[in-house]
C-alpha cells in the first residue's frame, strides 16, 4: 500500500435466482478477475449467492444449505488471494435467518456482518424472512470454524511500512443496503470507531429519479464520514416479476465519486482509494474524533506489499474546476468573497477611497476588478479608486498601456508617478551602482512603489489594496515590505492558476468589449515583476523562468498543505498528472525548488496583511498556517533525495 493507495472493486455478476451453484461460479470467476486487476477489497451485492428476489424460497432449507455450500466454495477459491472479499448470503443462526455479508480472505472466513435495518414498506417485505442484526457480536460455527457474527466489526490490516516509515492501517466496516438509508446508519458508528473504508452490499431497485439520490447518498456519506465508500448493487438476473434492479456500482472517497458504473450494468468497477489522504483529513478535522468503541471487535487480515498501479486521474490544476459551468460558478463565488471582505473593511474604517498599484499584470488586474465590485456594493463612486501606475526601469509599453486603459475603462481615477528619479536618488544615497542589476536594484523599485502607495493612501484617507497572490506568498516571491505589504490583501489566498481564470471569467461575462480586449491582452502577457530593463522593448524578466511553472508549484502547494503528503508522493502523482506536459526530471527539479523556497521564505508569511480566505488552502499566520519561520527543511529534502 505504498503512499496509501489501494485498489478496490465493486462487482455485480449476472445471476440466476435460486441457482446457487451457478451464482457461486460467477462470483468465483469475477473474484479472480478483480484480484487479477489488483483489487485488494472486493464487494459483491446483497444475497448474491442466492439472489435477492428469492422471496418465500428463503424459507426453504434446501436453498439455505446450498448457500452455505456456495460460500464454502468461495472461501476455498480465495486461497492465495490476499484480498478482503465480501459476499452476500442468507444465514440461519439459532433458528433465526439473517441477511449477511461474509468477509473472506486468502482461504479463510473472517466473520459475518448481519443487516440491521430490515425494510418492510413499499416493495420491500424482508421482515417476512429476516431478523435484524441489532444484537451484540456472537460466535457462530461455519464448516467447523468459529467466527464472529455482528454489526460491530472492523476488519483490520496494518500494511507494511512504506518508504517513509509510515504504517498505513486499513479499517474496513460493512453495512447492507437499507442500513445506508437509516437516519443513523451503522457506518457512522463504525467510522467513529476508526473505520476508514465502508463497504455496502446492496440490492437497490430502480425507479424514476432514484439514481441521482442514491449517488448523492453514497457521495455525501463518504464526505460526512471522511471515508471511502464502496457500493455494489444487485442487477441483471434478479427477478423482474415486479421490479428492476439498478446494478449500480460506486466508489466514493471523502465526497468525491471516483468511479460509477451507471445503471443496468454487470461486471467489475475499480478505483484506487487513498488511505493516506483520508487519514490526513481526519487529522486536520479535530472535531472528527475517532474513539475506542468497546462493542467493536477487530479481525485482522493481510495484504501483499505490491505497489498499487495507479489508474486514478489527478487534476493538474486542483484549484481550478475542470468543468466550464462549475468553473464559472466558482469564479463568481470567489469574486463575491473577495469583494465582501474588502467591503467590510472599507465600511469598518469608514473609508471611501482605495489606492492600488496597477502594473498591467494579472494580479493587480484582479485586485482592481475586486475593488470595483466592492465599491459597487457600497454604492461608492469608482473615482474613489485611485489606480496608480509607476513606470520604472523594467516597464514595457504593453503593460503600461494596459494599466492605463483598464483603469480608464473601469471609471477609476488614474495617476502616473514615474519612480525612476526617486530610485536613482536612493541608489546614490546608499552607494549602489545602477548598472548592477542585482536584488538591491530590483527590490528598491518594489519598496519605492509601496512607499508611494502608502503615502497616497494617507493623502486621500484611503487604504492600500494588496495585489500579491497565494502562489507568490508560498514561494516567497515578493519583496519584503515592498509588494509584500498592503493594508488589505484581496488576492492573498488566490493561487496564480486561479487568478488567470478569474480575470478571464470577468472578461467573458462582466465587461464591455473595450475592456475585454484589454483583459485578454493582460492574459496573454508573460508573468513578470518587470524590474529589469526590457530587451528590444519586450519583457526580459519572466517569473516562471526563474522560479518554475506556477502550474507545478500550485499542484505541489495543494497536496503539501491540504493533505500533508510526503514530497515523494507528491512527485509520484505529479508525474501522473503532468504526463506529456513535464518530464519527471523537470518535475523533480522544481519540486526541490518549491520545498527550499517554501521553508526559507516563511518569515514573509508570518507578517502578511489581512485578506479574505477563499479556498481550503491558505497561508495566513492567523488562520491556516501556523509554521515557525526557522523550521528546517532537511527532513523533506531527505525524502526527495530518495527519488
Q: Report the catalytic residues.
A: 46, 115, 177
Nearest to 455 by CA among 528, 509, 386, 400: 386
What is the rounded distance in angstroms from the CA atom of residue 192 to the CA atom of residue 225? 8
Q: Which long-range contacts (CB under 8 A, 24 or more apart) does 331-337 make?
A: 331/501, 331/502, 331/505, 331/506, 332/505, 334/494, 334/498, 334/502, 334/614, 334/615, 335/369, 335/370, 335/373, 335/502, 335/505, 335/506, 337/612, 337/613, 337/614
What is the rounded distance in angstroms from the CA atom of residue 179 to the CA atom of residue 204? 12
What is the rounded distance in angstroms from the CA atom of residue 294 to the CA atom of residue 305? 30
Residue 567 makes CB contacts below 8 A (sequence gap 6+) with 560, 591, 595, 636, 639, 640
Q: Across-strand partners of 96?
A: 93
DSSP at 449 = H
β-pairing verdict for 96-105 and 84-93: antiparallel
Residue 524's Cβ-count burial label (10 Å; 0-12, 13-18, 19+) is exposed
Nearest to 446 by CA among 325, 359, 541: 359
Q: How far apart are the first and last CA of the chain?
A: 18
Map residue 138 onto helix, strand or coil.
strand
CA distances from 122 to 48, 243, 293, 530 (A): 22, 12, 35, 70
Q: Which helix (H) or strand (E) holds 24?
A: helix 20-36
Cell numbers for 408, please give them: 480608464
Map residue 454 onto helix, strand or coil.
helix
What is the rounded distance in angstroms from the CA atom of residue 112 to the CA atom of residue 103? 6
Residue 423's Cβ-count burial label (10 Å; 0-12, 13-18, 19+) is buried
Cell numbers for 499, please give them: 487568478
- CA 384 to chain centroid: 40
For residues 51 and 164, the answer to whether their CB atoms sit within 8 Å is no
- CA 62 to chain centroid: 50
DSSP at 56 = G
Amino acid at each position: 500500500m505504498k503512499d496509501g493507495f489501494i485498489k478496490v472493486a465493486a462487482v455485480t455478476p449476472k445471476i440466476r435466482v435460486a441457482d446457487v451453484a451457478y451464482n457461486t461460479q460467477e462470483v468465483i470467476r469475477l473474484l479472480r478477475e478483480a484480484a487479477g486487476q489488483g483489487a485488494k477489497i472486493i464487494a459483491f451485492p446483497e444475497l448474491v449467492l442466492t439472489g435477492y428476489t428469492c422471496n418465500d424460497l428463503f424459507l426453504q432449507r434446501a436453498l439455505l444449505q446450498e448457500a452455505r455450500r456456495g460460500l464454502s466454495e468461495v472461501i476455498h477459491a480465495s486461497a492465495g488471494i490476499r484480498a478482503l472479499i465480501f459476499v452476500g448470503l442468507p444465514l440461519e443462526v439459532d433458528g433465526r435467518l439473517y441477511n449477511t455479508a461474509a468477509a473472506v480472505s486468502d482461504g479463510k472466513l473472517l466473520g459475518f456482518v448481519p443487516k440491521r435495518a430490515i425494510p418492510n414498506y413499499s416493495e420491500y417485505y424482508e421482515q417476512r424472512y429476516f431478523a435484524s442484526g441489532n444484537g451484540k457480536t456472537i460466535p457462530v460455527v461455519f464448516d467447523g470454524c468459529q467466527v464472529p457474527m455482528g454489526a460491530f466489526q472492523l476488519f483490520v490490516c496494518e500494511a507494511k511500512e512504506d518508504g517513509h516509515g509510515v504504517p498505513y492501517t486499513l479499517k474496513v466496516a460493512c453495512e447492507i443496503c437499507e442500513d445506508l438509508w437509516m437516519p443513523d446508519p451503522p457506518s457512522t458508528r463504525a467510522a467513529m470507531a476508526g473505520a476508514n473504508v465502508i463497504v455496502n452490499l446492496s440490492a437497490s431497485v430502480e425507479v424514476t429519479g432514484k439514481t441521482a439520490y442514491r449517488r448523492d447518498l453514497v457521495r455525501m456519506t463518504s464526505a460526512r464520514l471522511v471515508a471511502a465508500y464502496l457500493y455494489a448493487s444487485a442487477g441483471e438476473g434478479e427477478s423482474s416479476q415486479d421490479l428492476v434492479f439498478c446494478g449500480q456500482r460506486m466508489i466514493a472517497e471523502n465526497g468525491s465519486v471516483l468511479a460509477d458504473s451507471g445503471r443496468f450494468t454487470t461486471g467489475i468497477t475499480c478505483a484506487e482509494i487513498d488511505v493516506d489522504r483520508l487519514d490526513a483529513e481526519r487529522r486536520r478535522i479535530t472535531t472528527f474524533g475517532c474513539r475506542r468503541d468497546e462493542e467493536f471487535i477487530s479481525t485482522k487480515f493481510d495484504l501483499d506489499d505490491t505497489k498499487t498501479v495507479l489508474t486514478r486521474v489527478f487534476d493538474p490544476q486542483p484549484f481550478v474546476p475542470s468543468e466550464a459551468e462549475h468553473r464559472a460558478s466558482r469564479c463568481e463565488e470567489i469574486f463575491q468573497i473577495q469583494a465582501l471582505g474588502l467591503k467590510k473593511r472599507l465600511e469598518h474604517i469608514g473609508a471611501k477611497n482605495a489606492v492600488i498599484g496597477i502594473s498591467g499584470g494579472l494580479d493587480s488586474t484582479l485586485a482592481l476588478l475586486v475593488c470595483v465590485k466592492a465599491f459597487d456594493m457600497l454604492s461608492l463612486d469608482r473615482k474613489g479608486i485611485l489606480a496608480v501606475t509607476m513606470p520604472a526601469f523594467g516597464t514595457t509599453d504593453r503593460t503600461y498601456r494596459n494599466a492605463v486603459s483598464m483603469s480608464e475603462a473601469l471609471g477609476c481615477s488614474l495617476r502616473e508617478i514615474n519612480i525612476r528619479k526617486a530610485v536613482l536618488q536612493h541608489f546614490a544615497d546608499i552607494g549602489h551602482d545602477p548598472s548592477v542589476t542585482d536584488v538591491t536594484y530590483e527590490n528598491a523599485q518594489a519598496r519605492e512603489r509601496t512607499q508611494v502607495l502608502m503615502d497616497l493612501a494617507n493623502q486621500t484617507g484611503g487604504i492600500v489594496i494588496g495585489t500579491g497572490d497565494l502562489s507568490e506568498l508560498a514561494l516567497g516571491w515578493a519583496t519584503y515590505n515592498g509588494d509584500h505589504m498592503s493594508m488589505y490583501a484581496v488576492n492573498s489566498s488566490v493561487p496564480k492558476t486561479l487568478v488567470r481564470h478569474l480575470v478571464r471569467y470577468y472578461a467573458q461575462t462582466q465587461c464591455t468589449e473595450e475592456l475585454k480586449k484589454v483583459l485578454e491582452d493582460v492574459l496573454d502577457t508573460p508573468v513578470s515583476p518587470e524590474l529589469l530593463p526590457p530587451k528590444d522593448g519586450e519583457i526580459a524578466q519572466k517569473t516562471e523562468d526563474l522560479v518554475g511553472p506556477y502550474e507545478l508549484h500550485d499542484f505541489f502547494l495543494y497536496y503539501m498543505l491540504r493533505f500533508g503528503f510526503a514530497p515523494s508522493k507528491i512527485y509520484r502523482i505529479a508525474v501522473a498528472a503532468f504526463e506529456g506536459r513535464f518530464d519527471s526530471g523537470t518535475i523533480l527539479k522544481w519540486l526541490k525548488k518549491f520545498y527550499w523556497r517554501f521553508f526559507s521564505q516563511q518569515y514573509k508569511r508570518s507578517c502578511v496583511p489581512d485578506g479574505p480566505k477563499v479556498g481550503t488552502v491558505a497561508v495566513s499566520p492567523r488562520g491556516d498556517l501556523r509554521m515557525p519561520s526557522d523550521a528546517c527543511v532537511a527532513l523533506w529534502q531527505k525524502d526527495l533525495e530518495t527519488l
